Structure formats: structure tokens, C-alpha cells
Structure 1
Amino acid sequence: MKTFYSEAHRGHAGHFELAGGRLVPCFEKPVRAEYVRARVEEVGLGPVLAPKSWSLDAAARVHDAGYLDFLGRAWDMWAAEGNHTTALAMTWPVRGLRNDIVPTSIEAMLGYYSMDAGAGFMPGTYAAIRGSLDCALTAAECVAGGEAAAFALCRPPGHHAGSAFMGGYCFINNASVAAQWLRDNGAARVAILDVDYHHGNGTQEIFYARGDVLVCNIHGDPNTEYPFFLGHVDETGTGAGEGANANYPLPFGTDFESWGAALDHACGRIEAFGADVVVVSLGVDTFERDPISHFKLTSADYPKIGARIAKLGRPTLFVFEGGYAVDEIGINAVGVLTGFEGR
């Protein structure tokens, strides 16, 4: 299996984030991708390749043009005001405030185009965003070209980013862009299977009214877990998308027996949907020792996930998302991939 990895991710290294009412060192940090890459090489999964450079045309198929333009300008606007630390939103256009006027100041734009204070900018952030997108699209092209599977080692991740907003460490929704690119290049039906601990709210929002892309999320119950405001069972799609969205919210402490049952059900949905290709949003923050999550999967469980996905018998694109127990992140993420390959 080929892995696509961009060195540009290293330039995205924030100073801090908000967690539990405190400013803490960022959980989403460069070492995450480095540990996964090292494990890919250690087990001999396959070649680690630099991605092709892509324009924003594919991203513009699922993201708002104004939002994409903002991503490219955000750090320069922030730095132009004499700021040198992480650019984070601090005011949002919530209910009762206006959101029909696109602001011009960087402080306001950060809030206008975000869902939380979890997506900060540094000097190298935009290059990392583009490199992450390049990985997803190059891996998608690889699968479309006949490979059974490919791994996009994306950083920053993407599944919390919606059509016109960032958040939860995510800026461009790599899995969604790849899914749309696959649709545009011959796949009649695409399934996105999100196995990250946190609900892929951005992916759901992007495809919620469409019936050609099935979105299945297995995640922490939004009543108690981020992102809180999406991910309930009754969210099944709307209009042409009715029935093409499936959520599997699970409680704190879920182990692999219960989690695996949800995976089986989601795989059944994918089979019934008749997907031509599967895009897996591969988060491993379901791990028992993840510092910001509350499931109880063990390292021995991850190859089982890959093996179950392989039973679908469809071309599969793995797009890296979350996972913050860095000591085990490579073992767990690559465990899914080796399990998929039957090792």
C-alpha cells in the first residue's frame, strides 16, 4: 500500500490550545504524523511518497470560495497587525448576531469562518493545509487508477471542517474533497466511513442533502462529547440525501465488542448502498489511553478494523484524521492498514 506524506505539515505547530478551561500544549502536533510515518516504514507497508501538487479546484467542489480564500490569507492578515503567536478565534456569530455580512478584520473573520477555537494559524499552517490536501487527492488518484488501497497521511486532519468553516484542528475536509474527486472521476457512488472518536460533523454537513455519497460515523455520543451539536441517530439526511447519513453515537467507556458491532452495521450499510469506492476517515483516538477521548479500544483491536473493512471488497482510500496518544499512534493507525492487507 502506498503512503502519501508531505513534509509541509511540520510548519503547522501551534503554541497552545484551550482544553478544560486551560491553555495547554497542542494535542494536534507534528510528531503525530512523524510517528505514523516511522511505523509505516518499520513494518514495510509500502513506499512513502511525496504527493503531487494540486490546485484548489477540487476543494472548491465542496468548500465555499470565500472560505478557501480566507484560509490562504489568514496568517498574513494576523501577522500584519503585529501578532506573532497562534491566531485563534474568540468571537462567533451565534444566534441573535448577524452572519450575513462577511467581516473584513482578521479577528472577526477567524470567528466568522470557524465553529470553535480549535483551528489556529501559524506561519506554516497554510502550506500544511495544502500539503494535506495534496496527499488526499494524490492517494485518491492512486485508488482511481486501480490500486486496491492507498493511505493519505494527512496533517492537519479534516473531518470537522465544513463547507464554509474550520474547527477541531481541521481546515479543508480532505476526505470529503477526495470523495467528491472520486465522484467526478468515475465513481457513481462513494461511501465515507468515519471511525474517528469524534463525529465528522463537517463531512456530514457537506453531503447531508446528497444521495450519491453515503456517510457513516461511529463516534462518541454528542450529548457528552465534542463536537456536541451534531451526530445524533435521527440525522439521516435530507431531500435527495434522506437515508444516506448514518450515525452511531456510543457512550463513554465503549469497548471493541460494542464498537465492532457498530462497524459491522455500518459496513452492512455500505454494502447495501453499493459503493464503488470507500473513503475511510481514519482516526485512532478511540484508543484506551487517548488523552482527549473516552473509548476503550486496545492496540490489538485496530488490525480487526482493517480486516473488517477489507471484507467490503472495494477500492479503499484511508485518510488520516485524529489520534493523540502519540506513543501508540503509529502502532494503532498502521495496525488498521496491515489488518486491511491481511497481515
Structure 2
Amino acid sequence: MKVVFSDTQRAHDPQMFLSSGAPKPCPEKPARIEALLSGVRKLDLPVIAPEDAGMAPIAAVHPARYLTFLQNIHDRWRLIDGASPEVIPNIHPGSRLDGYPKSAVGQAGFHMTDTSCPISGPTWGSAYASAQTAIHGAGLVLGGDKVAYALCRPPGHHCFPELAGGFCYLANSAIAARLLQQAGRKVAVLDVDLHHGNGTQGVFYEDPSVLTVSLHCHPERFYPFFWGYEGETGAGDGEGTNLNLCLERGAGDAPFLAALDRALDRITLWGADTLVLALGLDAFVGDPFAGLAVTTPGFSQIARAVAGLGLPTLIVQEGGYLCPELGDNLAAVLAEFM
């Protein structure tokens, strides 16, 4: 198994986000990288840098207007008298069908769903490198690798085509899945993050050729709140190609694995020939977000079951925040694919 990682991902260092109305230090910090790499080192896996595939694979998911916003908004924001050091929205449209403003403040509100994706000078470069990491991993799978791990940071599964949110700026898992789809693969995306993969769902919600499945803490009382309910099954031609499996807060290994059985049955019945595993490690019992209670042995069981599908698999890193066991949890997952 090859591990794909770009050092450029370290530069993005968000300082603040709002949680329940209170400013708090952002938990999506560069130190996550070193913790994850410690898990890679436990298994002595080779780490390679991604090649630059350019904008085309990213633009296959994200419209030009949004990409222009991400690349330029921090410089524009700095011209505002008294603006915060990081781009953080303070106003949002009632609907993204409303007018599109020219104002930097208005565009920030239009393209950012919440305050947990602050944009600083290095953000675009790190997000771009994170997407290129996923793209290179997809290329490895297309080239015949049975499994590859893309250490993507910042993560991507909360990002819609034109909407950043939840620490996510580019939809890494969806970008990789789109590349695989365009190469003729029948792709399933399985998201096992603590939080619902709302952005990934949004990318493919009307697409009948990609199956999206997410296991997550029930959104009635947990981020992202407005997406992730079991009634969301796809729309239009994509009806029936989205499955959300909600877990009660505090659920541990047994209920998670039971839901996973349902997810894997759906993927098998759908006939996927390639899998994108959106790997969140924040379902861990000791994760700072404290939503679910999966153990380190539980992650081994999850990975063993997913690997049992026997599909070519790209593992894309999503959440999982700083705790002493973060690297151990990653190693527990990757070991089952070796």
C-alpha cells in the first residue's frame, strides 16, 4: 500500500471557529498530520508526494466561480478596513438561488456554510495539495494498485460544489470518485466519519452512477444538523443511490458494525467495482468531538469488513482529531488492507 501525502498541506493553520456561539481554537490543526503519519510509520508504509494533475479534476466537481473565490478571497478580505485576519462569514443568503454579490463579505457568506472553515493566506495552497493527494491516490487505483491511502488535510467531505464548511474547502473524496467514475468505474463512496458526509452526498445526489453511503452520528442534535437523515435517498435520476445510516450519540462498536453490515450489503447489491472509503477517525471514543464510542479494536473490525468486499479501494482521510490514539487508530485501519 502506498501513502500519498504533500507537505504543502501543513501550511493551512486555522486559528478560530465558533462552537455554540463561543470562539474556540480550531481543532483542525497541522499537528493532525504528524499524528496520522505516526500511524503510517508503525506499518512502515512508503510515503510518496502527489503529482500536480492541475485544475481539471477539481473543476469536474467545483464550478469556476467557487474556485476563483477560494483562490482570491483572502487577498480581497485584507483590503477591508478592520477585517479579521481570517475570512469568516457573518451573513448568509436565505437560499443559494438568491442574488450573487460582488462584495467579498457577501461572497464569503454565499460560499461558506458556517464559521468552521476560516480562510487564511495559505488555505488555498493546502486545500489544493489535499485535493491533488486524493487525485493521485485515485490514479494509483486506476493504475492497478489494490489499495492506496490519501492522507488529505484539510479534509473534504463537508464541501459541496460551491460551499465550504466543516473544515472542508475542496471535496477530496468526491473529486477522487468523479475521476474514477470518468474512467469507467462503478464507484461507491463509503463514509465512516463521525459526521455525515453532506458535501459528498450533495455532489452525487442526482447522479445515478455513483452510490454514496454514510454512517454517522444522528444529525438531529449533531453537526451538520440539516443533512444526513435517512429519508435522503437521492433525487431525480439519482433516486435510490444515497443511503444514510444514523447512529445514536454514544454508540460504540456493536451498533456501528451492525450499521456497517447494512452499508456493505447495499454496496454489494449495487454492484460497485471500486470503493472510495472516506475515513473519519473521529468516531473514536476518545476523540475531542465525543459523538460516538468506537474503540481501536473496533476500527480494525470496521476495516476488516470493508476490506472483505475485495474491491480496489482508495482510502481518503477525512476527520479524526488530536488525541493520543489517533495514529494507532489509523494503523488499525490500514493494517487490515495490507
TM-score range, shorter chain: over 0.9
Task: Out of 257-266 and 231-240, give the one that drifted further.
Answer: 231-240
Correspondence 1:57-136 to 2 at 5 A: 57-81=56-80, 83=83, 85-94=85-94, 99-136=97-134
Correspondence 1:221-236 to 2 at 5 A: 221-236=218-233
Whole-angstrom distance in 2 between the partners of 1:94 and 1:290: 33
Whole-angstrom distance in 2 between the partners of 1:62 and 1:132: 15
Q: CA deviation at 1:43?
A: 2.2
Q: Hey, what does 2:248 align to over in structure 1?
A: 251
Q: CA deviation at 1:174?
A: 0.4
Whole-angstrom distance in 1 between the partners of 2:171 and 2:16: 22
Runs of 4+ in 1 over 4 A off after TM superposition: none
Correspondence 1:172-187 to 2 at 5 A: 172-187=170-185
Q: Hey, what does 2:276 align to over in structure 1?
A: 279
User: Does the Cα contact within 8 Å between 2:35 and 2:322 map onto a contact in 1?
Assistant: no
Q: Give yes or no for the alignment of 1:55 onto 2:44.
A: no
Amino acid at match of 1:62: V
Give 2:318's match in structure 1, choosing from 299, 316, 321.
321
Amino acid at match of 1:324: Y
Q: CA deviation at 1:108?
A: 1.2
Q: Hey, what does 1:4 align to over in structure 2?
A: 4
Q: CA deviation at 1:84?
A: 6.1
Q: 1:260-319: CA deviations, max 9, x gaps? A: 011111011111111110001100110011111311111121111111111101000000
Whole-angstrom distance in 2 between the partners of 1:267 and 1:325: 29
Give 1:260's match in structure 2, choosing from 254, 257, 276.
257
Whole-angstrom distance in 1 between the partners of 2:3 and 2:158: 23
Whole-angstrom distance in 1 between the partners of 2:100 and 2:58: 20
Q: 1:56-104: CA deviations, max 9, x gaps? A: 1111112222111111111111123365622111110025xx8432212
Q: Give yes or no for the alignment of 1:270 onto 2:267.
A: yes
Q: Hey, what does 2:30 align to over in structure 1?
A: 30
Whole-angstrom distance in 2 between the partners of 1:72 and 1:248: 35
Structure 1 gaps, min length 5: none
User: Does the Cα contact within 8 Å between 1:197 and 1:293 map onto a contact in 2?
Assistant: no
Percent identity of the aligned residues?
39
User: Does the Cα contact within 8 Å between 1:99 and 1:112 map onto a contact in 2?
Assistant: no
User: Does the Cα contact within 8 Å between 1:302 and 1:336 map onto a contact in 2?
Assistant: yes
Whole-angstrom distance in 2 between the partners of 1:81 and 1:42: 47
Give 2:193's match in structure 1, choosing from 191, 196, 208.
196
Q: 1:201-224: CA deviations, max 9, x gaps? A: 111111111111000000011111
User: Does the Cα contact within 8 Å between 2:147 and 2:313 map onto a contact in 1?
Assistant: yes
Whole-angstrom distance in 2 between the partners of 1:105 and 1:331: 45
Give 1:213's match in structure 2, choosing from 191, 205, 210.
210
Aligned length: 337
Q: 1:163-189: CA deviations, max 9, x gaps? A: 1100000011000010000111131x1
Whole-angstrom distance in 2 between the partners of 1:169 and 1:154: 12
User: Does the Cα contact within 8 Å between 1:11 and 1:123 map onto a contact in 2?
Assistant: no
Whole-angstrom distance in 2 between the partners of 1:313 and 1:5: 25
User: Does the Cα contact within 8 Å between 1:201 and 1:230 map onto a contact in 2?
Assistant: yes
Q: Hey, what does 1:167 align to over in structure 2?
A: 165
Q: Hey, what does 1:138 align to over in structure 2?
A: 136
Whole-angstrom distance in 1 between the partners of 2:84 and 2:163: 23
